[in-house]
Amino acid sequence: MANTYRNFLQTEIEFLKGVGPARADLLKKELNIFTYRDLLMHFPFRYVDRSKIWAIRDLDDQMPYIQVKGVLQNYKKEGIGKSMRAKATLNDGTGHIELVWFQGLKWLDDFVKNGQTYIAFGKPSVFRNIISITHPELSLPEREKFETGIQPVYSITEKMRARNFDSRAIAKVCHTLVHHPEFYIQENLPDSILDNLQLVNRKMALKNIHFPENIDMANAAIDRLKFEELFFLQLKILHYKQQVSSQKTNIIVTQIGEQFNNFYNTKLPFELTDAQKKVLKEIRTDLGLGKQMNRLLQGDVGSGKTIVALLSMLMMADNNYQCCLMAPTEILATQHYKSISELLYDTGITCRLLTGSTSNSVRKDIDANLLNGEIHILIGTHALIEDKVQFRNLGLAVIDEQHRFGVAQRYKLWKKNQEPPHILVMTATPIPRTLAMTLYGDLDISVIDQLPQGRKPIRSVHRYLRGLSDVYTFIKTQIAEGRQIYIVYPLIDESEKLDYEHLMGGYEELKQIFPEPQYTMGMVHGKMKPKEKENVMSHFAKGDIHILVATTVIEVGVNVPNASVMMLMSAERFGLSQMHQLRGRVGRGVDQSFCILVTGDKLGADTRKRLKTMVDTTDGFVIAEVDMELRGPGDLEGTRQSGMLDLKLASISVDHKWVALSRQQAQELLVIDPLLQLPENSNTSKYFELYKRQNGDWGRVS
């Protein structure tokens, strides 16, 4: 074995003293630990303080894991068969506790001797005034050194437990590893950063995260490693962004032309909000720079992103470029197509729709006219990114409701042209800042932080099932006033069939309450063909239907200004951001709108918090923060697939400080040394290359 640090850490795990073939096999199969490095990176998930031995008389059942030392007596077994248990008492002169075991009794028989002194470790509980510890860890007082002080606790699997390869055993082999004479860790952060942020060095951190001298050292080690983890992620994102934004392009908006001006002055049905104007200027600047634009447009539901996109597309059209607008669902794409072609009526700008259900003959026609440049704006679904869709000169690709698309798909659009088109990504899911820095860290961000004038804030209430009849009465008065209603049922992941039955059952009941011909109802759900869905939706949009009963398929983007009530059935089953999205379907017209959250009586604390947040605020950013806090960032919509949040130590939702610091430090480093070529950054550079290889390079852009 060569004596370099890389080779040492790459050594296969079975070579480590105390591991051997059987345990190596377990480590590989159960924990994916193949090498010394893997073991070193298997961090404990918590610590227990074994530096202190408690007096038994001081124990109570509020304590965490503790240890006591005393003489064991009265070891005996009770019960038979499966209910057999072992019991003993432990006496330390200040009092006694009971020890109880249900498993591993055979091993106990061999190990436990009455009259012997042991250290017992576990969580005390109290039953009938007797303090006991169930399944204490027992050890003899003269223990190995690594078992005193702050102890790491590692995750293990059932299989490992069954083979007596427990957290302690892992601690033991880890201890061997970090005390191996060849153990060597290369620093991977620049000295300046270590100094600035007062971080411990890498070797110290990796030793102390497993075996800290005290809790402060454990925290210092964790902080350092969290920072490192986030720093290299940010470095990767920013490095990528740097590659992208240095991409020169000939796709330039040199002038604001006739189409834009005509539309702006004579066709625009309303005055833009200041926020819309600001964002439009940002886009206008980007498009004129001769550099590829990659911009994220964030704006709460109803803030008017579509018109900004359309105006941007008109700028391109005036400079003889084509544009496309991609939406996540057929319904949305169709709706965009309709509203945009209406707005463009008589302007000479040609707009077409391409989705999965576009017929072959129409498709052929679209293909031909895309290539000869007759089509100026193509609107559609994922169908747009298929390779066979070829443009003559695509200049701008707009992606609506980004959270339904993965990062990879975003980059597919680049390939649509000889020169990558400008990209404008729009999302109505407000994203907490730290998350945006990560998920969209390669994009420049614009925010529409203002709703069009005259919108009345939606009133949200929480109602119980038992109060449903009042709700229905209210809905009837709304309908009498000419309004329309959404009633949405949740998707229950376990079974599509159940969802369907749930929805159908609800629909039948509602029919009794809102009988024809006085009331008309329609239904949309995931099982319907796009054409059928669209048919119902367009009836609703036209006002032919009073009540639209739906699953969450209507979640994004659909725009029916006359709808004034959004009623969510079994609201306890909806996520917070999802409820906010759905609520955004109403409040688009001049009338007062309502969101009614209906639940059963039994609600958990998290559910109450979700409902209360909905009732208290309509601010999407506040909602996003609470959502992230409740669920963690990994569960937020669209982040799951990204893989960017698979972090070992750091959490985007908790470690705001470290996310911001890592971003800032990575940024500063790249400003000074964009290609990491300075000698003082050579360790960082080497590690970064390795990091990119292990964590998936997003590939070269060109």
Q: Does 456 bind ligand ADP (CB under 6 A)?
A: no
Q: Which is nearer to ligand ADP, 44 or 304 (CB)?
A: 304
Instruction: Compute how many residues bind ligand ADP; rule: CB under 6 A.
Output: 17
Looking at 296-304, 312-320, 513-521, 631-639, which segment touches ligand ADP (CB under 6 A)?
Answer: 296-304
Question: How far is residue 141's CA from residue 121's CA, in Å, rounded to a whole number?
Answer: 12
Edge-to-edge order in the sheet of strand 117-122: 124-127, 130-134, 96-101, 85-91, 66-78, 117-122, 137-139
Residue span binding Mg ion (CB under 5 A) among the ranges 284-292, 553-561, 583-591, 659-667: 553-561
Question: What residues does 400 pair with on adjacent strands?
Answer: 426
Nearer to Mg ion among residue 557 and residue 589 (C-beta): 557
H or E element at residue 670: helix 656-672
- Residue pair 580/620 in contact (Cβ under 8 Å)? The answer is yes
Q: Can you tell me the distance from the alpha carbon of 217 to that of 211, in angstroms, rounded to the nearest whole number?
A: 9
Inter-residue contact 153 to 48 (CB < 8 Å): yes
Interaction of residue 306 with ligand ADP, rule CB under 6 A: yes
Of 659, 672, 649, 666, nearest to 193 (Cα)?
A: 666
CB-based contact 446:281 (threshold 8 Å): no
106 Cβ partners below 8 Å, 6+ apart?
none
46-54, 158-166, 305-313, 518-526 -> range binding ligand ADP (CB under 6 A):
305-313
Q: How far apart are CA 619 and CA 563, in angstroms?
A: 20
Of 50, 226, 236, 305, the residue at the interface with ligand ADP (CB under 6 A) is: 305
Where on the phi/psi map is residue 210: left (φ > 0), alpha (ψ -120 to 50), or beta?
Answer: alpha
| Site for ligand ADP contains 315 (CB under 6 A) | no
In the bound state, the residue with its beta carbon closest to ligand ADP is 304
589 touches Mg ion (CB under 5 A): no
Residue 557 in contact with Mg ion, rule: CB under 5 A: yes
434: phi then psi, degrees, rounded to nearest 5 = -65, -35
Of 452, 526, 575, 634, which lies in the binding site for ligand ADP, with binding defined by CB under 6 A? 452
270 binds, among Mg ion, ligand ADP, none (CB under 5 to 8 A by kind): ligand ADP
For residue 517, whether the previous peptide bond is cis, meaning omega lies within 30 degrees of 0, is yes
Pick the piece of the chain touching ligand ADP (CB under 6 A) from 62-70, 154-162, 304-312, 429-437: 304-312
Report what 546 binds from Mg ion, ligand ADP, none; CB cut-off 5-8 Å by kind. Answer: none
Distance between first and last Cα of the chain: 41
Complex with ligand ADP: residue 251 or 447, whichever CB lies closer? 447
Contact status: 303 vs ligand ADP (CB under 6 A): yes
The full length of the chain comes to 702
Rg of the Cα atoms in the chain:
31
Question: Alpha-carbon distance 99 to 86, whole Å?
Answer: 8
Say which entry of ligand ADP, Mg ion, none residue 272 contacts (CB below 5 to 8 A, set by partner kind): ligand ADP
List 429, 434, 559, 665, residue binding ligand ADP (CB under 6 A)? 559
CB of 457 to ligand ADP, least distance (A): 15
Q: Are 392 and 370 in contact (CB under 8 A)?
A: yes
> Does 336 sit near ligand ADP (CB under 6 A)?
no
Tell me the per-residue interface mask from 577 to 616 with ligand ADP, x by CB under 6 A, - otherwise.
Answer: -----------x----------------------------
The region of 199-207, 301-309, 321-329, 657-665 touching ligand ADP under the rule CB under 6 A is: 301-309
Binding site for Mg ion (CB under 5 A): 557
Residues forming the site for ligand ADP (CB under 6 A): 270, 272-273, 276, 299, 301-307, 428, 452, 559, 561, 588
